[in-house]
Amino acid sequence: MKLCIPTTTKDGQGAMVHEHFGSAPFFTVFDAEAKAWEVIDNSHEHHAHGMCQPLASLAGRNIDVVVCGGMGARAVQKFNEAGIKVYRAVPGTVSDMARLLSEGALEEITLAGSCAHHTCR
């Protein structure tokens, strides 16, 4: 399983989760099978609300799950259509989120529970 988490820094498993998916400066991808980390620059970090291209920066990486503080309805819908589930992060690091997800302790973000602005959490 490959897990993608928006992060504030390039610190891999120690990076703190960014509050909102689309405006995160980086995405940290954890491949649970290979136990490998990859950090991706978010080239779509600056965009108007509703114009996020969530799959563009992650193309070709076969992500299974996204864990983030918040995400707009259109992005949730695009991920769900691609077969990718989205879960709500709690304050912490990438390593914390990977552990909490494996324990089933994170809430899935649905269309009804999605954000309407960039500061939701």
Residue 116 lies in a domain: no
Check whether 17 has a pLDDT greater than 80. Answer: yes
Domain assignment of residue 24, yes or no:
yes
Q: How many domains does the chain have?
A: 1
> What value does the mean pLDDT of the chain take?
85
In-domain check, residue 8: yes
Does residue 108 lie in a domain region? no
- Band (pLDDT 50/70/90 cuts) for residue 111 is confident
Q: Which pLDDT score, from 0 to 100, does residue 47 have?
A: 44
The residue among 116 and 26 whose pLDDT is bigger is: 26
Predicted pLDDT at 58: 82
Q: Return d(Cα 120, Cα 84) in angstroms, integer.
A: 21
Note whether residue 36 is domain-resident: yes
Mean pLDDT of 2-29: 92
Q: Is residue 96 part of a domain?
A: yes
Mean pLDDT value of segment 14-32: 90
- How many whole angstroms separate alpha carbon 8 and alpha carbon 112? 26
Average pLDDT estimate for 66-83: 89
Q: Mean pLDDT over residues 58-63, rounded?
A: 87
Domain coverage including residue 6: 2-102
Is there a contact between 53 and 75 (Cβ–Cβ < 8 Å)? no
Rounded-to-integer distance, Cα 39 and Cα 7, Å: 9
Provide the CATH number for the domain around residue 76. Answer: 3.30.420.130
Residue 110 has pLDDT above 50, yes or no: yes
- The answer to whether 97 touches 17, Cβ cutoff 8 Å, is yes
Q: pLDDT digits over 91-106, tens only?
A: 999 999 999 999 999 9
Residue 119 lies in a domain: no
Q: Is pLDDT of 25 > 60?
A: yes
Task: Please tell me the predicted confidence (pLDDT) of residue 21.
Answer: 84
Task: Spell out where 36-78 has E strands.
Answer: 36-41, 65-68
